[in-house]
Amino acid sequence: MTMIGISEKAQGSHPTLVAWLAGAGIDTVLIDPAAAPIRDGDRTAQRILHLTEAGIARQHDILIDFADGAPILRRAKIGRPVTIVFGFEDMAFGHALIAELIRPRIMPSCGEPDSARFLSLAARVARSDATVLLLGQTGTGKEGVARYIHAASPRADKPFVAVNCAALPETMLEAMLFGHQKGAFTGAVGAGEGLFRAAEGGTLLLDEIAELPLALQAKLLRALQEREVLPVGATAPIAVDVRVIAAGNRDLAAEVEAGRFRADLYWRLNVMPLTIKPLGERRQDIRAISAALLLRHTPEHEDIAWPTAAALDRLMTHDWPGNVRELENVLQRAMLMRDGPRIEAADLMIDAMSGAAAAQPRPIAANETAPAPLMADAAPVRLADARRLSQARAIEEALAATGGHRLRAAQRLGISERTLRYRIADMRAVARGADMRDVA
């Protein structure tokens, strides 16, 4: 990784920043911002300078300062670097924001030292051509790590192709992976190259690998061993040069024991196993990922809604059973539903969402009879309630589709911005009323 330069004044304004960056996998070196580099190779890609050093700042630098009061983040513009100012109350999130502003785009967000070491290991693995097996719960960021491995590898300038094996029809999986000849099956009006050949020279991510049927697992094993694929309907194999990363949320060793996954394929994939911990076990990653998500979902021309210290504490103490996807949903909802310029703890609808997830019916086992619905005890759904829920869902979807921009969301819904504000206020009032009933 490129070394990040930091001036003595900048370091003095936030004495704990360097330690946070080091824990997040970002190394820094003390620099004299006024000194010109001896040669281009000595130039750091980005520097962290104090606000008073703005006169010698470059476009990609970051200007920081310490000041109590409302935190400030001004995005970079032509001829003006990023400026970020915050005080003690906002230091935890401010440090995370600085880390995400200078982190290379190819590197996943992290704040835990263990996560930084994990990414360092992934970067070392990337330099080889070894097959990688990524394991972790759904929503922990397996595809992000796979993209990082690809971007840090010698294959970075070649294609990265990701496929979810569980999302493809079983009847089409073989043709999708290995390609097919014209007329190989009904509807094959032309030849298809398949995903292996689409990723030629690059990386192929096979997500949800445990969902592959056993018959196709044997063909995948041959493709990995022989580095060639046999398209459906073809008589001669075609050589391929692809680095395969397999990912899954199941214990593949247990799947092998149960007879649902081939042992020989498991050992072929298990060259370099990497396991991603659940988000609830990566507390410092929560604020780093929150910073990255807020930067991503806030339009460039709008101010970022900083979470208050209480809101950040609430984020970091939740268990996040839905991992990063749940965190992203919570933050997007808070951005849309907040009253003021900041995200307050009350804006984080975490308990309600978790409760809703817990209330979902569990799958019925094959030897179990589903319980009869208790129709007599079920409260009738009023037409007005159904209309209000449908309206709220449409507003949330429109705001999400426009990145929270209310004018564009109103245009998308065919109403005025003023009407949209009234509807959002009604939604908040209904939500608060439901919370009060729960407390009572």
* Domain spans of the chain, in order of start: 4-110+282-350, 113-275
| Per-residue pLDDT tens over the stretch 293-325 | 999 999 988 899 999 999 999 999 999 999 999
Mean predicted lDDT score pLDDT of the chain? 83
**CA nearest to 249, candidates 278, 221, 269, 213:** 278
Distance in angstroms (rounded) separating the CA atoms of residues 20 and 36: 27
Q: What is the pLDDT of residue 325?
A: 92
Confidence of residue 379 (pLDDT cuts 50, 70, 90): very low
| Per-residue pLDDT tens over the stretch 90-109 | 999 999 999 999 998 889 99
Is the pLDDT reported for residue 87 higher than 70? yes
**CA nearest to 249, candidates 121, 108, 134:** 134
Q: What is the pLDDT of residue 26?
A: 93
CATH 3.90.550.10 fits 4-110+282-350, yes or no: no
Confidence of residue 11 (pLDDT cuts 50, 70, 90): very high
Is the pLDDT reported for residue 40 higher than 70? no
Confirm if 14 and 91 have CB atoms less than 8 A apart.
yes
Confidence of residue 436 (pLDDT cuts 50, 70, 90): very low
In this prediction, residues 183-196 reach a mean pLDDT of 63
Q: Which residues of 91-174 form beta strands (DSSP E)?
A: 132-135, 160-164
Q: Which residues of 87-236 form beta strands (DSSP E)?
A: 132-135, 160-164, 203-207, 228-229
Q: What is the pLDDT of residue 424?
A: 80
166-170, 210-214, 366-370, range with greatest mean pLDDT? 210-214
Confirm if 323 and 140 have CB atoms less than 8 A apart.
yes
Distance in angstroms (rounded) separating the CA atoms of residues 287 and 362: 31
Handedness of CA 212, 213, 217, 223 (dihedral sign): negative
Question: Which architecture, in CATH terms, is 113-275?
Answer: 3-Layer(aba) Sandwich (3.40)
Q: What is the pLDDT of residue 108?
A: 94
pTM for this entry: 0.76
Q: What is the pLDDT of residue 328?
A: 95
Is the pLDDT reported for residue 189 higher than 60? no
| Per-residue pLDDT tens over the stretch 244-295 | 999 999 999 999 999 999 999 999 999 999 999 999 999 999 999 999 999 9
Is the pLDDT reported for residue 377 higher than 70? no
Confidence of residue 190 (pLDDT cuts 50, 70, 90): low
Confidence of residue 437 (pLDDT cuts 50, 70, 90): very low
33-42, 134-143, 412-421, range with greatest mean pLDDT? 134-143
